[in-house]
Amino acid sequence: MVIGSGIAGGMLGLIPISASAAPFLPTGEWRLAIRNVHNNERFDAVFARGGRFVSAGLAELNHGLRDWRTEEEAPMDRRLLALLVSLRQSLGVTGGKPFDLISGYRSPATNAVLRSRGGAHTGVATKSQHMLGKATDIHLPGVPLERLRDAARALGMGGVGYYPKDGFVHVDTARVRHW
């Protein structure tokens, strides 16, 4: 993805929104709050405002969504951030209410460990999206997991996996598919 920081935008830390992400980002303020359930870290950042990305907000969310096992960060897909905001909005939940984050970016090392353990969430269809920074496993406190799943499917912005035993919904920005 091209990050074209014009002179004015660069000075303000604002990045023009690329064509690929534009359909998900109308004007207004795009804010995302997350809490990592593994270490209880909380992040609350505005990552787009008035049709431009906010670089400091993107950086904060890249850090918040990092592989907490290895401390590796990756540039998260901005469409995924927009998907999460859209999902929260579709459920009528305010911007300051954090998603509980079970998994965001996964490094190749972490992914290999998780695969070796087996379990429900190791399928070929989903593993690569976490490694590409295009997937999160989440739940939203106060919202029944089934309702979160249904709202994610209704958005039609990517893949949605339902893991009731593990207490999360997987969402990604790859092609639309459900499991």
Nearer residue to Zn ion within complex by CB, 35 or 52: 35
How many Cα atoms are found within 13 Å in the side-chain-facing hemisphere of 178? 8
Taking contact as CB under 5 A, which single stretch among the options 1-9, 82-90, 112-120, 127-135 is the one that binds Zn ion? 127-135
**Minimal distance, residue 76 CB to Zn ion, in Å:** 13
Nearer residue to Zn ion within complex by CB, 43 or 163: 163
Q: Which of 137, 143, 152, 160 binds Zn ion (CB under 5 A)?
A: 137
126 vs 163: CA distance, rounded Å = 13
155 vs 164: CA distance, rounded Å = 20
42 vs 64: CA distance, rounded Å = 7
77 vs 65: CA distance, rounded Å = 11
Taking contact as CB under 5 A, which single stretch among the options 22-30, 47-55, 79-87, 166-174 is the one that binds Zn ion? 166-174
Taking contact as CB under 5 A, which single stretch among the options 32-40, 57-65, 84-92, 129-137 is the one that binds Zn ion? 129-137
Total residues found in the chain within this entry: 179
Which SS3 state, helix, strand or coil, does residue 65 take? coil
Interface with Zn ion, residue 170, by CB under 5 A: yes
- For Zn ion, the binding residues (CB under 5 A) are 135, 137, 170
